[in-house]
Amino acid sequence: MFVRPLEKARLKVHVKGRVTIPKEFRERLGISEGDQVEAILREDQRAVVIQVLIKDWLEDMLSVLKRVFPDKSTKEIMNELRQGWEEYAEE
């Protein structure tokens, strides 16, 4: 799917009204399978806006950290964070 400079994409409506959010959009917004989004109808603009619902802060933080440390497991990331905080507290 071609993404235009204005960060728009043309989507096709499938069976039961389903559309697929382009992969690049999902990656940039950190949207994963099972995440919830909200559809907002802007009737005056003949538009539907899809908005990512904010997950709890820990999930958001882990999502960001997994992008920064893609080769580490959640447990490894948490251990590194703990170690960093312990070192910081000792200073």
- pLDDT tens string, the chain, 91 residues long: the values are 554 455 888 999 999 999 999 999 988 888 888 888 999 999 999 999 888 887 677 777 778 888 888 898 888 888 888 888 888 787 7
Total number of domains in the chain: 2
Query: From CA 41, how far away is CA 44, in angstroms rounded?
Result: 9
Asked if residue 69 belongs to a domain, the reply is: yes
Cα–Cα separations (whole angstroms), residue 51 to 2, 36, 39, 40, 41: 21, 9, 6, 8, 11
| Tokens representing residue 7 in the block | 């960060």
In this predicted structure, what is the pLDDT of residue 1? 52
In this predicted structure, what is the pLDDT of residue 19? 93
In this predicted structure, what is the pLDDT of residue 5? 52
Asked if residue 34 belongs to a domain, the reply is: yes
Asked if residue 24 belongs to a domain, the reply is: yes
Residue-number span of the structural domain to which 30 is assigned: 15-52
In this predicted structure, what is the pLDDT of residue 57? 72
Asked if residue 25 belongs to a domain, the reply is: yes
The HSE-up count of residue 35 (CA atoms within 13 Å, CB side) is 20
